[in-house]
Amino acid sequence: MFRRRTRARTRVVTALAALLLAVTGTGLEAAAAPAGPALAAAEWNTDWAAAAYAADPAAVSASGVENAGTAAGLAFDGNGGTRWSSNFADDAWISVDLGTAIRVTEVRLAWEAAYGRRYAVEVSADGRDWHSFSTENAGTGGTVDLHTYPQEAVGRYVRVRGIERATPYGYSLYSFEVYGGVPAPASTGRANLALHHPAFTNYYQDAGHSPAYVTDGGIPADLRADQSRWASDWNADRWVSVDLGATAQIDTVDLYWQAAYAVDYRLQVSDDNRSWRTVYQPTASEVAARRADVRSPGEASGLHDTVRLSAPATGRYVRMLGVERRSFYNPAPATAQFGYSLYEFQVWGTGGSDAAAYPALPQDSGAAYRTTFLDEFDGTALNRDRWRVVTTGSTMGTVNGESQAYVDSPQNIAVADGTLRLRANYCARCTTAPNGQVFDFSSGRIDTNTRFDFTYGRVSARLRLPVGEGFWPAFWLLGSNVDDPAVSWPASGEADIMENIGYADWSSSGVHGPGYSADGNIGVTQHFPAGQSADQWHTYAVEWTPTAQRYYVDDRQVFELTRQKVEATRGQWVFDHNHYVILNLALGGAYPAGYNGVTQPYWGLPQSSVDRIAAGGVQLEVDWVRVEQRL
């Protein structure tokens, strides 16, 4: 109920166009900023591109068309059976003039079979200088929702610019939809100053539930629908805020909650987005009443809180700081808690400004790389100034349904002949963890946490992997804040540079974060060239920058993931803080079992692999590990 996104929309095209003509005497294409009254009143689910085309077909242009039956306007006519098809060129484009500048929150593209493998979606104030808010580097066609948050995407013109076609034909779109609205201007009369203004949060569930939706004007009548809402991840310490653009006098705040509302919260204001002053909190009796309203998710609905301040508050930024989440009876006798979910955050008063903007995102550095961490495992023992040994039942618990305990033993972690060896051992019920759990398998896991934590860099290792079903070696990065209960996984971020589950011909790479974790992670499988296999020496690497992650096997790029693409299509980019390096050899568990289907004698680990472990020699070998950074 709380994770599924089905954002129904209507197109108020004809009514909007007619109203424009009645009020302004002109069509959309001539309505230069500032917006006319009809545009300012557009509904949250108005397709601005369709409205522009309905008012004046000349609002649409393209680099060319395949033929007269695939004209540019057919991508905006609301008919899913008609389409624009471009001229047969990689740099073909299609553009729409919305008639006035809006804050674009989302663009929806429905591709025909001739789709773009690489393309950019851009916005412009004048139709000449363009700014990209979404760049696709591995398109697969279909219907694509592209969200702009947390980028600044305000403009009058929006276009799709081709970079590389996926077929020999042109680019072909059934529809090209644009959603957003005109930011509320400074006001001397009482108004909702937050409408279409930038909104922020510490964490959110996925791209379709970003904080951008709390200022878009979308409020379902029953406060139950999964549409136009911010949803935090499942933690209590979460907030959402709005930038009014300039100092304002605030007298009332309206919060339209979905069923996952805050039992207790604070309303706060700030002048600088750093120091906050609390101007409202529910009374103890109000909190108690909200706490007592425990219903199953299928029965629960939202609340509308109208908070009239006892005295006007002054500030530029306003936020809701969650303190306690609502509980749900799901099922008896346990209670379940989701995150917070808010349809709309209205701030009433005077002042403010439509100049509020999302800050620019970090850019890559041009500095040269230099080595900041290197271990070539020369010597006879693990260097514990560089590495922490992880133990099950002490440092960590069991995870992923794996069968092994990680132990600190020379039988499992050894350095000799210039290599590190993480070894698997089998002995039925021979390994007792510090927490009392008993295991049939032991293995090794080390990391650099508290020894070397870093942000951005080129991280590489030369590895030789064991081959056998259910053997699960991994070389990866994990966010250093993973053990903070206010963050935890996947909000910490996880980057899997190399994973292998016992197959000789391939390895995988991928990332986990809010909206793209566990089975929904973003990743690829790469196959070794003919004659090569996983049990030979290979170098695995990731180049991690403020804007992207690029994965390599033996200097061959196998995967590129950009921040733009993640935030436009999946969820929050959480790779902007310290991470640490991990090496481990797991046995069985969810990932292997998902491929080999083995349930006995161990989940994901067949008897043949158990026999190999018992015979000895199943190990992950590491020649060296290096981190280079631009400093």
At 337 the pLDDT is 79
Question: Which range, of 299-308, 322-331, 472-481, 579-588, averages the lowest pLDDT?
Answer: 322-331
Q: Rounded to an integer, what distance in angstroms lies between the CA atom of residue 574 and that of residue 514?
A: 8
Per-residue pLDDT for 31 more than 60?
no
Which residues sit opposite 173 in a β-bridge?
A: 84, 111
Structure tokens, 365: 């550095």
Per-residue pLDDT for 334 more than 80?
no
Please, which residues have CB within 8 angstroms of residue 498's CB and are 6 or more apart in sequence? Answer: 461, 463, 473, 474, 475, 476, 507, 508, 509, 540, 553
**H or E segment at 139?**
none
Query: Is the peptide bond preceding residue 183 cis, with omega within 30 degrees of 0?
Result: no
Q: Is residue 90 part of a domain?
A: yes
Query: What proportion of the chain, given as a percentage, has pLDDT over 90?
Result: 90
Per-residue pLDDT for 531 more than 60?
yes
Per-residue pLDDT for 15 more than 60?
no
Per-residue pLDDT for 294 more than 50?
yes
10 vs 42, 77, 473, CA distance in Å? 11, 14, 50
Which amino acid, one-letter code, is at 523? G
Nearest CA to 412 among 438, 428, 392, 385? 392
Whether residue 593 sits in one domain with residue 472:
yes
What does the pLDDT look like over 354-368, one tens digit per residue? 999 999 999 999 999
- Domain stops at, among 150, 181, 212: 181
- Domain stops at, among 123, 157, 181: 181
Q: Rounded to an integer, what distance in angstroms lies between the CA atom of residue 337 and that of residue 235?
A: 8
Query: What proportion of the chain, given as a percentage, has pLDDT over 70?
Result: 93
Please, which residues have CB within 8 angstroms of residue 617's CB and are 6 or more apart in sequence? Answer: none
Structure tokens, 382: 């693990």
What does the pLDDT look like over 181-192, one tens digit per residue? 999 999 999 999
Mean pLDDT within 233-249 = 96
At 297 the pLDDT is 87
- Domain stops at, among 114, 149, 181: 181
CATH number assigned to the domain comprising residue 299: 2.60.120.260
Whether residue 216 sits in one domain with residue 157:
no
Q: Rounded to an integer, what distance in angstroms lies between the CA atom of residue 464 and that of residue 468?
A: 13
What does the pLDDT look like over 142-159, one tens digit per residue? 999 999 999 999 999 999
CB 493 within 8 A of CB 476: no
Question: Which range, of 14-28, 65-79, 427-441, 551-565, averages the lowest pLDDT?
Answer: 14-28
Whether residue 343 sits in one domain with residue 216:
yes
What does the pLDDT look like over 375-400, one tens digit per residue? 999 999 999 999 999 999 999 999 99
Report residue 17's pLDDT band, with 50, 70 and 90 as the boundaries. very low
Neighbours of 460 (CB within 10 A): 20
> DSSP letter at 535?
T
Nearest CA to 451 among 631, 625, 630? 625
Per-residue pLDDT for 12 more than 50?
no
Nearest CA to 201 among 418, 5, 432, 358? 358
Q: Is residue 2 part of a domain?
A: no
Using DSSP, state whether 17 is helix, strand or coil.
helix
Angle between helices 13-24 and 48-55 (to 10 degrees): 60
Whether residue 193 sits in one domain with residue 172:
no
Q: Is residue 109 part of a domain?
A: yes
Structure tokens, 285: 């009796």
Q: Is residue 5 part of a domain?
A: no
CB 109 within 8 A of CB 103: no
**pTM assigned to the model:** 0.91
Mean pLDDT within 43-48 = 93
| Distance, C-alpha 300 to centroid of its chain | 27
Number of domains in the chain: 3
Give per-residue burial for 108-120: e unless 16+ CB within 10 Å, then b: bbbbbebbbbebb
At 298 the pLDDT is 85
Whether residue 222 sits in one domain with residue 172:
no
Whether residue 319 sits in one domain with residue 467:
no
Q: Rounded to an integer, what distance in angstroms lies between the CA atom of residue 538 and that of residue 535?
A: 9
Per-residue pLDDT for 601 more than 50?
yes
Helix/strand number for the chain, H first, E second = 7, 36
Using DSSP, state whether 59 is helix, strand or coil.
helix
Which residues sit opposite 248 in a β-bridge?
A: 315, 351
Structure tokens, 601: 């004698």
Per-residue pLDDT for 209 more than 60?
yes
Whether residue 379 sits in one domain with residue 324:
no
Whether residue 52 sits in one domain with residue 38:
yes
Q: Is residue 525 part of a domain?
A: yes
Mean pLDDT score of the chain:
92
Whether residue 210 sits in one domain with residue 133:
no
Q: Is residue 364 part of a domain?
A: no
At 332 the pLDDT is 58
Higher pLDDT, 2 or 297: 297
Higher pLDDT, 13 or 580: 580
CATH number assigned to the domain comprising residue 446: 2.60.120.200
Which residues sit opposite 57 in a β-bridge?
A: none
Neighbours of 589 (CB within 10 A): 22
Mean pLDDT within 270-291 = 97
What does the pLDDT look like over 467-509, one tens digit per residue? 999 999 999 999 999 999 999 999 999 999 999 999 999 999 9
Whether residue 574 sits in one domain with residue 486:
yes
Whether residue 398 sits in one domain with residue 454:
yes
At 27 the pLDDT is 31
591 vs 41, 405, 501, 526, 586, CA distance in Å? 50, 17, 7, 16, 10
Using DSSP, state whether 575 is helix, strand or coil.
coil
Please, which residues have CB within 8 angstroms of residue 483's CB and are 6 or more apart in sequence? Answer: none
Q: Is residue 366 part of a domain?
A: no
CB 451 within 8 A of CB 563: no
Q: Rounded to an integer, what distance in angstroms lies between the CA atom of residue 550 and that of residue 573?
A: 15
What does the pLDDT look like over 93-137, one tens digit per residue? 999 999 999 999 999 999 999 999 999 999 999 999 999 999 999
At 41 the pLDDT is 58
Report residue 631's pLDDT band, with 50, 70 and 90 as the boundaries. confident
| Structural domain that includes position 400 | 372-630
What does the pLDDT look like over 190-208, one tens digit per residue? 999 999 999 999 999 999 9
Q: Rounded to an integer, what distance in angstroms lies between the CA atom of residue 262 and that of residue 230?
A: 13
At 333 the pLDDT is 58
Block residue for tokens 């009392």: 436
Nearest CA to 228 among 200, 256, 268, 203? 256
Whether residue 524 sits in one domain with residue 384:
yes
CB 403 within 8 A of CB 588: yes
Report residue 335's pLDDT band, with 50, 70 and 90 as the boundaries. low
What does the pLDDT look like over 517-530, one tens digit per residue? 999 999 999 999 99
Per-residue pLDDT for 16 more than 70?
no
Q: Rounded to an integer, what distance in angstroms lies between the CA atom of residue 508 and that of residue 502?
A: 11
Using DSSP, state whether 593 is helix, strand or coil.
helix
| Distance, C-alpha 61 to centroid of its chain | 32
